[in-house]
Amino acid sequence: MTASIYDIPFSRADGSTTSLRAYTDSVLLIVNVASKCGYTKQYDGLEALYGSYRERGLVVLGFPANDFAGQEPGTDAEIQEFCRLTYGVEFPVFAKIVVKGPQKHPLYQALIEALPKAVFQPGSTLAARMAGKGAAPGPDEVSWNFEKFLVDRKGIVVARFGSDTEPQDEAIVGPLRKLLAA
């Protein structure tokens, strides 16, 4: 991924336009989030990760998406309130976007092009469970809510984690610490 990822526009929850340019020289953990998902409790872990490492240059970025079983039905204002009141989220959570299919947001197109497949936890049954429900992701798609992309300070996607990888799992924290030390 080139520096152009920093120039892809997207909306803040208030409707104003921004881009990743505001986060140049930071390590980014980009996550598609949802408020009515079995993984929603990961907001706690994401906030804890952000609190632990933000002074060293980590920024967690939440992108609400309603692409998986309608698990993010709220308005942008409702999502912001839910995140703040339920989980004490201080990391940026933006306006709802589309992360899969033909209407996929250009940011997610770029992230997925950079790393087409997520790494799932050893022994993960998430993909098999989804396939059993007829919800298996297509090629080069985000598989479910709370998939995570780790981006280095130069805007290069260096890792992609499946939804069932908890934010504070060593699979994420190990590479994150290395990026923050670089």
User: Would you name the residues annotated as active-site residues?
Assistant: 37
Pull the structure tokens for residue 43: 């907001």
**Across the strands, what pairs with 93?**
62
Contacts for 62 with CB less than 8 Å, ≥ 6 apart: 31, 33, 46, 83, 89, 91, 92, 93, 94
Q: Determine whether 102 is exposed, middle or buried from the number of CB atoms within 10 Å of its CB (0-12, 13-18, 19+).
A: exposed
On whether the CB atoms of residues 164 and 124 are closer than 8 A, the answer is: yes
DSSP secondary structure string, 48-107?
HHHHHHGGGTEEEEEEE---STT---S-HHHHHHHHHHHH---S-B------SSTT--HH
Max CA distance (Å), the chain: 43
